[in-house]
Amino acid sequence: MPDMTAAPDLSPATAAAHPRQRPERRVGWVIAALALGGFGIGTTEFVAMGLLPNIAASLDVSEPTAGHLISAYALGVVVGAPVITAVAARVARKQLLIWLMVAFTVGNALSVLAPNYETLMAARFVAGLPHGAYFGVAALVAAHLAGPGKRARAVGRVMLGLSVANVLGVPAATWIGQALGWRAALGLVVVLGLATVVALVALVPDLRGMPASDMRSELGALRNSQVLLTLAVGMVGFGGLFAFYSYLNTALTSVGGVSEGVVPVALMLFGLGMVVGNTVGGRLADRHVDVAVVVGLLTVGVSLGLFSVLLGIGWLAVLFAFIVGATGTIALPALQTRLMDVAEDGQTVAAAMNHSALNLANALGAWVGGLVLAHGLGYRAPAAVGAGLAAAGLVVFAVTMLAARRSGVMTTGPREQPVTIG
């Protein structure tokens, strides 16, 4: 086991003196620390969905009213991503990561201690504020450490924390919440946050040579048409995945005919698929970012369409949740990497805004799925509409590519040269 008590020295001199201690292995530990934060964030983001009845009963509000807590967290993500990354543009990346995770931990601790619904609503908003900024900065750090040719894979490994949360963190927190109360579930997230802070302090090195920025440069990303169009691709294209996920439980039980006890298996398969999709997507994006986006949107559209057709065969629909999860995340590392490529001096804001876009996709998908259900089209419809949103995302991306070609924007390689890190 490597020494985890001090920040690794990744300099070439150290590698030469200690050939067995490869820099790649030390970088792996750093990315694992970054992914641990993603694991905690993913756990708190999704566990509230499964514990809404418990939260509603505890605070004496209706379940639809308790559902606004999910919206409060998402609003925090949307607001916090551009604001925090712009204001903190000059803060050293390691220190910023640590403070973002401290803020996340405090927000969840306030949620645990919230005495009433109104206080919990405010605490969930606070907990969401660091979400996008953390992932944006973590993605930049991972890409910086990995260097050219491995950037998207490094970004994908950071995002794996979010995927693994759906496999392990959310089921574990949900079980704890059902057994001991929803406050205990969020208490687990607080522990994960504290563990991440310790890991970041111990493992992340001083990041010499990462490009300095300022608020004006970072906010310039919001005037960059390629950044805005790429964000639109994520918001529209990934809306389909969330339309599917929001109504998966009832779709499987009412149309697929499976028991409620089987639904967690489907959710776990979906999470495992996300892990595979992130890994495959990272490798594909390192070969060609734009191709990875197209492949991701195309395959998830097809898989969602097939799911809506096969839903009546319950056992097959459960297994197909894995396929949807895998195809649904192929494009994620590519979109994150593309934003860093086209954002010029506003890389941090652009990378963070990706998660604002994904939260808007969550809201869009749930709304569109609910709309077709309200019109009596049945529980096959959300997945079918999801396929349509993926196709719409492809159209937006085609417009994005055409605009990039006309303006001569390069989107397939790194902007910065590898630097010495120590």
DSSP 61: -
pTM: 0.73
Q: State how far the Cα of 136 lies from the Cα of 155, in Å rounded to an integer.
A: 10
Q: Tell me the range of 61-65, 267-271, 295-299 where mean pLDDT is highest.
A: 295-299
- pLDDT over 80 at 9, yes or no: no
Q: State how far the Cα of 11 lies from the Cα of 13, in Å rounded to an integer.
A: 5
The structure tokens 């967290």 sit at: 73
CATH number of the domain enclosing 138: 1.20.1250.20
Q: State how far the Cα of 376 lies from the Cα of 250, in Å rounded to an integer.
A: 14
> pLDDT tens, 283-297?
888 888 889 999 999
- pLDDT over 70 at 415, yes or no: no
The residue range of the domain holding 138 is 12-407
Query: Is 419 a member of any domain?
Result: no
Query: Is 91 a member of any domain?
Result: yes
Query: Is 421 a member of any domain?
Result: no
- Structurally, how many domains does the chain consist of? 1
Query: Is 417 a member of any domain?
Result: no
The structure tokens 């998402």 sit at: 74
Query: Is 283 a member of any domain?
Result: yes
- Averaged pLDDT, 294-302: 93
> pLDDT tens, 308-358?
998 888 888 889 889 999 998 898 888 888 887 787 766 777 777 787 888
Q: Please, which pLDDT band fits residue 216 given cuts at 50, 70 and 90? A: low
Query: Is 5 a member of any domain?
Result: no
Query: Is 291 a member of any domain?
Result: yes
Q: Please, which pLDDT band fits residue 389 given cuts at 50, 70 and 90? A: very high
Query: Is 418 a member of any domain?
Result: no
- Averaged pLDDT, 5-17: 40
> Residue 299 corresponds to which tokens in the numbers above?
């395959």
